[in-house]
């Protein structure tokens, strides 16, 4: 599946991590990327995780939270021993990760950043994250995601 080759997929293959790719038709007019995945693949929005790049005390940090939730910036900062969190500018997130917004994967990023995944991921056998481009998700075990990203797990999601 050469068309699915992204740095994220390459990282999974290199690490011999079991995973399943889930392509879907991305609508170029869509800006609600997570909601689009949930609808296109008919998935539970608590099991599909979005990768968000934030700044904690000036350092870029990755927060991975369910599509059904928002990133609690204060909780993210606390999880990494920081004081203040804010969303990183999109251009900065794209430059650091090597991916475009809506396709930012926690895997295979250009720069390895401190990463925190919401603890709710541990309640699922598998979760879905971007495989590195819009229109492609990867399903894998939360433990493998944590291992490959050197992430820590904490309650960083705010459910409405």
> Percentage of the chain surpassing pLDDT 90?
90
Q: Tokens 């968000």 belong to which residue?
A: 52
How far apart, in whole angstroms, are the C-alpha atoms of residue 32 and residue 42?
15
pLDDT higher than threshold 90 for residue 31 = no
Domain span holding position 43:
2-159
Range with the poorest average pLDDT among 27-31, 78-82, 92-96: 27-31
Specify the pLDDT at position 148: 96
Specify the pLDDT at position 3: 43
Beta bridge partners of 71: 157
**Residue 106 binned pLDDT confidence (cut-offs 50, 70, 90):** very high
Structural domain tally of the chain?
Answer: 1
Specify the pLDDT at position 1: 41
Specify the pLDDT at position 138: 97
Measured between alpha carbons, how far is residue 77 from residues 40, 63, 86, 152, 155 in Å?
32, 10, 9, 13, 11
Q: What are 39-67's pLDDT values in tens digits?
A: 999 999 999 999 999 999 999 999 999 99
Q: What are 123-152's pLDDT values in tens digits?
A: 999 999 999 999 999 999 999 999 999 999
Specify the pLDDT at position 2: 41
Beta bridge partners of 153: 117
CATH number at residue 130: 3.90.960.10
């Amino acid at each position: 599946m050469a068309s699915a080759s992204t740095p994220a997929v390459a990282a999974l293959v290199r690490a011999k991590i079991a995973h399943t790719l889930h392509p879907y038709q991305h609508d170029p007019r869509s800006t609600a990327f997570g909601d689009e995945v949930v609808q296109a693949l008919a998935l539970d929005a608590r099991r599909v995780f979005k990768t968000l790049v934030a700044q904690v005390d000036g350092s870029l940090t990755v927060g991975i939270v369910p599509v059904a939730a928002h990133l609690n910036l204060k909780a993210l900062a606390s999880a990494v021993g920081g004081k203040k969190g804010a969303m990183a500018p999109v251009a900065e997130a794209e430059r650091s990760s090597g991916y475009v917004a809506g396709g930012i994967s926690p895997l295979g990023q250009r720069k390895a950043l401190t990463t925190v995944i919401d603890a709710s991921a541990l309640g699922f056998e598998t979760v879905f994250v971007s495989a590195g481009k819009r229109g492609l998700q990867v399903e894998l075990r939360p433990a493998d995601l944590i291992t490959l990203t050197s992430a820590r797990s904490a309650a960083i999601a705010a459910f409405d």
